[in-house]
Amino acid sequence: EKAALEAYRGKETVTGDGDKKLLVANIGNPDDANAALEHDAEGVGLFRSEFLFMDAKELPSEDEQFAAYQKVALRMKDKPVIIRTLDVGGDKEIPYLHLQKEENPFMGFRAVRYCLNNPDQYKVQLTALLRASAFGDIKIMLPLVTTIDEVRQAKALIEECKHDLDERGVAYNKDIEVGTMIETPAASLIADDLAAECDFFSIGTNDLIGYTMCADRGNDRVSYLYQVYQPAVLRSLKRIIGEGNKAGIMVGMCGEAAADPLLIPILMSFGLDEYSVSAPSILRTRRILSLWTKEEADALAEKVMALKTATEVKAMLQAAAK
Ligand code: PEP
Ligand code: MG
């Protein structure tokens, strides 16, 4: 199989109709950018910035953060690099922030909620990202968004940071794109409004499945619920991608489901533009995209969306797999 996949190295990512898709990588630190390039990534669809904070003893300075973001920007040259701002909380703990213990950390004070409540600290990261945008095609992404206010507040802070950089005479990309993760049912339900305020979406299925199905990804007893094949999840994905397409913004997916060979034709039918997967999944994903025409994918999606259970969905996708 490996040899067969090598035939896709250096090739464009196109569907069976020759439609171009963007195939990019998820990375967790600047050195992962090398692996992404070795595996033929066309950019970075999710750079989780947590590593900078988790591997430290105290908050990383603007210069330290800038150095890490700049490194990725330079390595990826003119390829797009989406960097997600700090997604603290839930399963991601950072001891020196001394966050209060919460009974339900997945529904608590985390990610963009924490950052917007600590604007001076958030502005350090946003400023570092803006500075790095002078060295490559960097885009800023907000995690765990549930309201329009969060997007507006983050964008207002970015404007403040731009103003400060102008005063300091420091270069940055004035047209830097700002997008959001869609990984909560709330974001899915207001996707039309969010699309009007964002430059792109990236669907985080890891969290979206959990929050939609009220099922923890690590709990074996509810793993039958934690499935992308659940009709509730599929309807949500269809809605998000449809609203993003309607608004004319790029819609990507950086959750694990983007690399699921069974799901790819369904995502293609819904209109997903960008697939962000782990480096070792890149060539396989390119191959599967190339095997499906839009017409075939649409026919399968129509049948799948009429099914009532995850078991039936998975069985139909398995039977149709190429
Ligand atoms: C997701 O939730 O799908 C995602 C990509 O973010 P993380 O896995 O970092 O929570
Ligand atoms: Mg997430």
Which residue, judged by its Cα, is nearest atom 1 of ligand 1? Answer: 204
Q: Is the pTM of this model over 0.95?
A: yes
Q: Is 254 in the pocket of ligand 1 (CB under 6 A)?
A: yes
User: Ligand 1, closest atom to CA 50?
Assistant: 9
Residue of 307 and 55 predicted with greater confidence: 307
Give yes or no for residue 40 having a pLDDT over 80. Answer: yes
Among candidate residues 289, 258, 283, the one with its CA nearest the CA of residue 39 = 283
Q: Is 183 in the pocket of ligand 1 (CB under 6 A)?
A: yes
The DSSP code for 99 is P
Q: Compute CA 282 distance to the chain's CA centroid, rounded to the nearest angstrom.
A: 15
- The residue behind tokens 């950089």 is 165
Distance 206 CA to ligand 2 centre (A): 6
Please tell me the predicted confidence (pLDDT) of residue 76.
97
Distances (CA, A) of 53 to 38, 60, 90, 124: 26, 6, 15, 13
Q: Is 207 in the pocket of ligand 1 (CB under 6 A)?
A: yes
User: Ligand 1, closest atom to CA 255?
Assistant: 3
Backbone angles phi, psi at 120, to 5 degrees: -65, -40
Judged by its nearest atom, the ligand closest to the C-alpha of residue 257 is 1
Please tell me the predicted confidence (pLDDT) of residue 120.
97
Asked if ipTM goes beyond 0.90, one says yes
> CA-to-CA distance for 118 and 120, rounded, in angstroms?
6
Give yes or no for residue 90 having a pLDDT over 90. Answer: no
Please tell me the predicted confidence (pLDDT) of residue 4.
87
Backbone angles phi, psi at 237, to 5 degrees: -60, -45
Among candidate residues 15, 245, 281, 276, the one with its CA nearest the CA of residue 139 = 276
For residue range 97-132, list pLDDT tens digits in order.
988 889 999 999 999 999 999 999 999 999 999 999
Please tell me the predicted confidence (pLDDT) of residue 3.
83
Q: Which residues of 62-80 are buried (b: 16+ CB within 10 A; e: fewer)?
A: eeebbbbbbbbbebbeebb
Share of the chain above pLDDT 70, in %: 100
Tell me what the mean pLDDT of segment 76-93 comes to. Answer: 92
For residue range 187-218, list pLDDT tens digits in order.
999 999 999 999 999 999 999 999 999 999 99
Yes or no: say if 206 and 217 are a contact pair by the CB < 8 Å rule: yes
